Structure 1
């Protein structure tokens, strides 16, 4: 085979050119492009790490802000509850004061009404005593034919009413 016979003659030349192109490829790709690619990968890795660190810092800041907001919200809620409790207390005191004033007015009216009733009762009893004394005088005059004075009739009526 002639191709195999030529191999010994072209072997050194093929090895030379193989090494030559391998060297060029090594220097162009290995020394020129690979460091750029590796630099880009390293830059990208660094950028990703920085972005992750920034995201974690932002998350921590957001958590801190949320916690601060929750604390403010709890403080505001406590203040609002205190204001509501104070308003309720003021309203209760005001209504208690109004109720006390109304009760005082009612007690005054009740006392006046009781006094009026007692006065009317006393007047009615006095009138009943007068009528009973007159009726007693009239009954004694008709039945016994005797005349008694008004004072005696009143004292008899008082004794009879005291027993009732």
Structure 2
């Protein structure tokens, strides 16, 4: 068979060209494309690592800014509470002064009223004694037909009121 006899002659030629093309492919791909691809992968890995580092740095800065903001906010709250406390104390002091002034005015009015009441009471008691003395004289005159002096009637009324 002639086809089988040709295999030996063409096989070595085909193997040779196969090795040449595989070699060229290896050189082209292995030495030309793979380093470029690996360089791109390394560059991408470095860029990702840099981006992650930048993100972590930004996160740390944001955390420190937030911490500083919280401290300022707490200090501002404490200052506001101090201002509110001072305002309350000032208002309480002003109210105390106003209440003391009002109490002094009320005490003065009360003393005046008590004096007026005492004077009215004394005047009323004097009028009651005078009316009672006149009534006692009239009653004695009508009942007993005797005329009692005004001074005696007043003395009897005072004694009766003192015991009564």
Tell me how far apart the structure 2 counterparts of residues 162 and 12 of structure 1 sit (CA, whole Å): 162
Q: What is the 5 A alignment of 1:1-164?
A: 1-142=1-142, 143-148=144-149, 150-164=150-164
Q: Using the TM superposition, give the Cα deviation of residue 41 of structure 1 relative to its aligned residue in structure 2, in angstroms.
A: 0.2
Structure 1: how far apart are the matches of 2:23 and 2:9? 23
Q: Offset of 1:141 from its aligned partner?
A: 4.6
Specify every segment of 5 or more residues in structure 2 that has no aligned partner in the other structure, as ranges: none
Alpha-carbon RMSD: 2.0
SS in 1 for 2:19: helix
Rounded to whole Å, the distance in 1 between the matches of 2:3 and 2:22 is: 24
Distance across 1 between alignment mates of 2:114 and 2:2 = 151
Cα distance between partner residues in 2 of 1:31 and 1:74: 64
Aligned-partner Cα distance in 1 for 2:98–2:4: 126
1:7-48: per-residue Cα shift (whole Å, max 9, x none)?
A: 211233222222222222122111111101000000001111
CA 1:3–1:81: 2 relative to 1, 3 Å: farther
Deviations 1:62-114 (A, max 9, x none): 11111211121122112212222222222222222222222222222122111
Aligned residues between the structures: 163
Displacement of 1:163: 0.7
Does the residue aligned with 2:146 lie in a helix, a strand or coil?
Answer: coil
Q: How far apart in 2 are the matches of 1:141 and 1:56?
A: 122
